[in-house]
Structure 1
Amino acid sequence: MMIAYRRVSSEDQNLDRQQFPDADKVFEEKASGADRNRPALRDLIDFARDGDEVQVHSLDRLGRDMRDLLDIIEKLNGKGVTVSFVTERLTFKAGKDAVDDPFARLQLHMMAAFAQFERSIIRKRQREGIDRAKARGVYKGRQPTIDRDEVARLRGEGLGATEIAKRLGIGRASVYRLLEGLTDVRVKVQGGT
């Protein structure tokens, strides 16, 4: 079976350039490649069987972290699944009879390393830009997406973090972080500082 994996980094991007007309099944998602917890990728790995081929548009669509990229390929190869990257024209075959192409492995390591390097440079430039904007007083940061007052209200009704997270459609860790912040503020106010 030919399986395709399509990914873009954000909701406002589209998957149009990643076409796989011969695919029997397509897994797609809009999530950062740096995110190791991608549901469609996890489903693809669970779904793929011995003899299948997974096609991905390019290395950076599967992952930007070299370790993660290699791990995904090894997992799939370990299940007897071949992984092909269309743009780079790289194929990693599975199975005991498959001859591991050392040149393809070298290219994979080099391209993944360059992608990781590029990502690091982008982050560094972004950080420098933010620091300059803060110094000029024009950087305000990202606006909060979670209503702190609503979290406090629900907590005041006696709801726990899990239930608050479910009702607001957010992660429990976010609720705990906000509750901790609310507790710190209350303690300071009660303490008179």
Structure 2
Amino acid sequence: MYEEKVSAGGRTERMELTHLRRRIEPGDEIHIYSIDRLARSLSDLTSIVDEMVDKGATVHFLKENLTFSSDKQDFAGKLMMQVLGAIAEFERSLIRQRQREGIEKAKSAGKYKGKPRTIDREAIIKMLSAGVSPSQIAKLANIGVATVYRIRKEYAEISQRTTA
């Protein structure tokens, strides 16, 4: 049994799906709750299902009541899968578009400012000015050394702009 808690439309690695695809053997029965749980793009959906069927597995989509296997050619079922896959892809595009529009609207209203900064940059700059080493600052502030160097670089750039 493989169960995954990540989005089928996300760009993250889907480890359980990867493990499943590697272990498929002829005669395996793969039951998937819904087409949109497997993939959110039509090209991904068809390539994943084709790969599974080519390896000799039977793929069952429970919600849509569709079955695909190398034993039978179900042209109507394939058409239905492609139509539902195209709808899932379209739905995902609409969600992303609405999300972008919402963020832009919130930004223009001054409500969307991104993640608040949690590091006291002024304190880090004061410590740097006092001669404390970046590694010591990182330990004291419980941050990475690279963060200290990045803050130092940002401060140097700001200082150059104000003196120029």
Instruction: Give me the TM-score of the superposition, normalised by structure 1.
Output: 0.62
- d(CA) in 2 for partners of 1:181, 1:107: 53
* Structure 2 residue 91 is matched with structure 1 residue 118: yes
Which residue in 1 is equivalent to 2:77?
A: 104
Which residue in 1 is equivalent to 2:38?
A: 62
On the 8 A contact 2:41/2:85 being kept in 1, the answer is: yes
Flag the structure with larger Rg.
Answer: 2
- d(CA) in 1 for partners of 2:55, 2:151: 48
1:63-102 equivalences in 2 (<5 Å): 63-94=39-70, 98-102=71-75
Identity in percent = 37
On the 8 A contact 2:9/2:92 being kept in 1, the answer is: no
Which residue in 2 is equivalent to 1:35?
A: 10
Residues 31-86 of structure 1, C-alpha deviation per residue, up to 9 Å, x if partnerless?
11123620000011112211001000000111111111111111111110111100
Q: 1:61 to 1:188 in 2, by over 3 A?
A: same
TM superposition shift of 1:99: 2.3
- d(CA) in 2 for partners of 1:184, 1:69: 46
Higher helix share: 2
1:118-137 equivalences in 2 (<5 Å): 118-137=91-110
Q: 1:111 to 1:135 in 2, by over 3 A?
A: same
The alignment's C-alpha RMSD in Å is: 2.9
Higher strand share: 1
Look up the SS of the partner of 2:60 in the other structure. Answer: strand
Residues 142-173 of structure 1, C-alpha deviation per residue, up to 9 Å, x if partnerless?
457x98x9xxxxxx55xxxxxxxxxx9xxxxx
Gaps of 5+ in 1: 1-25, 150-155, 158-167, 169-175
Instruction: Give me the TM-score of the superposition, normalised by structure 2.
Output: 0.72
How many residue pairs get aligned? The number is 140
